[in-house]
Chains A and B, each alone.
Chain A
Amino acid sequence: MKEIYLDNNATTRVDDAVFEEMRPYFCELYGNPSSMHFFGGQVQRKIDEARNRTASLLGAHPEEIIFTSCGTESNNTAIRSALEAFPERRHIITTRVEHPAVLTPCRNLSKKGYRVTELSVDGEGRLDLDELRKVIDEDTAIVSVMYANNETGVVFPVEEVGAVVKEKGVLFHTDAVQAVGKIPLNMADSTVDMLSLSGHKLHAPKGIGALYVRKGTPFRPFLVGGHQERSRRAGTENTAGIIALGKASELAGQYLEDENTRVKAMRDRLESEILRLIPNVRVNGGGTLRLPNTCSVAFEYVEGEAILLLLSEKGICASSGSACTSGSLEPSHVLRAMGVPFTCAHGSIRFSLSRFTTDEEIDAVIRELPPIIHRLRELSPFGRESLAKG
């Protein structure tokens, strides 16, 4: 069975061109870029090229890019760096809907005596900037607000948030793991001090990420040891991964328009057909600016894991923000923060597309999904009235 992969916010396939670019750096050009000899030097030059490419995607200077092992490392590094750079400041501001890669370090820090404020969101997943204005103070070391939400695709007004943050002279970090490659970014004209990205969300392999750190931003390394990454991230470079991320960044720039036209059109079609064909459905965050590739829909009276399993039987790969798949028992913290009613929070499914998604695949989902929801609603003791319409 050929898979229909609509889980690109979880991870993406490595682009063939990216794989070709990185391939020689395993068995042939395996030198250490720090070495004095020509054999390492040629790898160093390729890493420089990758840095230029990633910087260019972000509208940044190459020296502002630190390669890391993943988005999680980038996020942890940014938060810890700010706290170490301003040891007298004991307050962190973030949001309730962040990825665990930000929320968990913040919550751990709150147990160590830091004050952590998690900004709330409204029913459409939007932030209240007045709440931020109220809580930010001279004790705040860092504000970390995601660029776009992984579950709903809701895009935060990062520059508006940044304007409030910079007015107070506080460091501003954004977890842009889901945004890079999907919406245009330009650090040259931005309030962002630090930005995290992850390779495997943009068709590079797993195990490579980057942290953008604006020139002049106080920075303290997380990993210390050798002088790699200008002593900002010790550890022998993941050469093949870095080279892959460079190529993936270049391609992401080229496909940005495609992402916002063709991919977005497919997403919109999927969404409107689901709404047309299936009763008692709501789009999470549907009323606000969202990533062009993400569609989070809540089906009332059915449970997400059951939907995913039946989709999987048809070769369709999606994801749920629901209780049963994530290991925890309550619906996802994102949907809860948005106040999505319990009647449908358990039945939320996320479809996330990529440039590899085809119209035929969207057709298949539109064909297979309605009977699956109908079948589960027939099993369910609730919402019998929705069956008549379906």
Chain B
Amino acid sequence: MWDYTDKVREHFLNPKNVGEIPDADAVGEVGSLACGDALKLYLKLDDKKERIVDAKFQTFGCASAIASSSALTEMIKGKTLDEALKITNQDIADFLGGLPEEKMHCSVMGQEALEVAIAKYRGGPIPGHEHVQPEMTGEVVCKCFGITDEFLKKVIRENRLHSAEQVTHFTKAGGGCGGCIPQINALIAEVMGEQPKEEQKKPGKLSNLRKMQLIQEILENEVRPLLWADGGDLELIDIAGSTVQIAFRKACAGCISSGHTAKFVEQKLREAVADDIRVEEVEG
């Protein structure tokens, strides 16, 4: 059963400000059908173009996504753009009397749509950002949902998140294949001002034989099970010095992300075996 407050229920069952504003001054769009939720926010400004006089939304998503959108529009009406920009996702959640942690990403989506709308309206990017979509600046960390390190750090900082699971609940990052969870942990450590902990001690100088054994072990026990989970697989073709040749099988073969997967394998092997490992994808 849903652990929603009465306020969430109310805003879901009777959402405020649903629809479009045909002559809107600002429109912000975030999310997609593939992500499972999306929000399109319309803002109408006063004659001086300072204050939000009307706000409407269209949302595809679960109850808390709809409620968060409704809450957001209620909260920003009458505010100046600068005042509105100060609203955080936590403010949206508080307005609704709280959201279950798994649903916090809905409030983040609301806050994002607002940022995007205002940034687009002002013409300039959000300070330091080339593109209007704030979540698209920086390096992509979560490939399943296309979420970048910049965005993750911002959410981690603002909400004082301390576990990868929390980050998933707030941003969805890590909720797909889970391959980026180590990177998320590193970002949390970075934000907390710590050095990321060395997860595995690398062995010292290895004999060639031991190195090959270790590579095989890591591939068998740590890499292939992850690929199997998504219907993929790989085969170890050869090891020559520090070059590891692999061929992708099943769903991984011909997958558009196989380049990322190869990088992931390389990173795994570098962590566990030696820094100079290079992974090469070959036909085999």
Binding site for B on A (CB under 8 A): 96, 107, 110-111, 113, 116-118, 120, 301-306, 309-310, 313, 322-325, 327-331, 337, 342-343, 346, 378-382
Does B12 sit at the interface, judged by CB under 8 A? yes
A305 in contact with B62 given A96-B231, A381-B40 (CB within 8 Å): yes
Q: Are B36 and A323 in contact (CB under 8 A)?
A: yes
Bound: A96/B250 CA distance, A: 13
Query: Which of B34, B36, B59, B251 is in CB contact (< 8 Å) with A381?
Result: B59
List the 5 closest A-B pairs by CB distance, nearest first.
A329-B175, A381-B58, A324-B62, A305-B62, A381-B40
Q: Are B228 and A110 in contact (CB under 8 A)?
A: yes
A382 in contact with B33 given A303-B65, A305-B62, A328-B175 (CB within 8 Å): yes
Chain B residue with the shortest CB-CB distance to A96: B231
Bound: A382/B103 CA distance, A: 21
A-facing residues in B29-55 (Cβ within 8 Å): 29, 33-34, 36-40
Q: Are B37 and A303 in contact (CB under 8 A)?
A: yes
Q: Are A324 and B36 in contact (CB under 8 A)?
A: yes
Q: Are A303 and B13 in contact (CB under 8 A)?
A: no
Chain B residue with the shortest CB-CB distance to A323: B36
Chain A residues within an 8 Å CB radius of B12 = 306, 309
Chain A residues within an 8 Å CB radius of B38 = 381-382
A108 CB to closest chain B CB, in angstroms?
A: 10
Q: Are B40 and A313 in contact (CB under 8 A)?
A: no
Chain B residues within an 8 Å CB radius of A302 = 60
B28 CB to closest chain A CB, in angstroms?
A: 11
Does B98 sit at the interface, judged by CB under 8 A? no
Does B229 sit at the interface, judged by CB under 8 A? yes
A116 in contact with B36 given A309-B12, A330-B175, A379-B59 (CB within 8 Å): no
Q: Are A329 and B168 in contact (CB under 8 A)?
A: yes
A45 CB to closest chain B CB, in angstroms?
A: 41
Chain A residue with the shortest CB-CB distance to B145: A329
Chain B residues within an 8 Å CB radius of A381 = 29, 38-40, 58-60
Q: Are A116 and B231 in contact (CB under 8 A)?
A: no
A322 in contact with B40 given A111-B221, A381-B58 (CB within 8 Å): no
A-facing residues in B251-278 (Cβ within 8 Å): 251
Does B179 sit at the interface, judged by CB under 8 A? no
Q: Are B18 and A379 in contact (CB under 8 A)?
A: yes
Query: Which of B61, B102, B103, B144 is in CB contact (< 8 Å) with A306?
Result: B61
Chain B residues within an 8 Å CB radius of A309 = 2, 12, 63
A-facing residues in B161-187 (Cβ within 8 Å): 168, 172, 175-176
Bound: A379/B70 CA distance, A: 11
Known: A329-B172, A342-B33, A381-B60; 6 extra A-B contacts, CB below 8 A, are: A306-B61, A306-B62, A324-B103, A329-B36, A330-B36, A382-B33
Bound: A330/B144 CA distance, A: 9
Bound: A183/B276 CA distance, A: 58
Does B15 sit at the interface, judged by CB under 8 A? yes
A303 in contact with B60 given A110-B228, A327-B102 (CB within 8 Å): yes
Most buried by A among B38, B40, B60, B251: B60
Does B93 sit at the interface, judged by CB under 8 A? no
Does B117 sit at the interface, judged by CB under 8 A? no
Does B66 sit at the interface, judged by CB under 8 A? yes
Bound: A302/B229 CA distance, A: 27
Does B138 sit at the interface, judged by CB under 8 A? no
Q: Are A379 and B168 in contact (CB under 8 A)?
A: no
Bound: A116/B61 CA distance, A: 35
Bound: A323/B32 CA distance, A: 14
Query: Which of A329, A330, A343, A379 is in CB contact (< 8 Å) with B33?
Result: A343
Bound: A220/B12 CA distance, A: 52
Q: Would you give the 0/1 interface string for B138-161, flagging 1 where the beta carbon is closer than 8 Å to chain A? A: 000000110000000000000000
Query: Which of B15, B63, B102, B231 is in CB contact (< 8 Å) with A118?
Result: B231
Does B225 sit at the interface, judged by CB under 8 A? yes
B257 CB to closest chain A CB, in angstroms?
A: 15
Q: Are B61 and A303 in contact (CB under 8 A)?
A: yes
Chain B residues within an 8 Å CB radius of A117 = 228
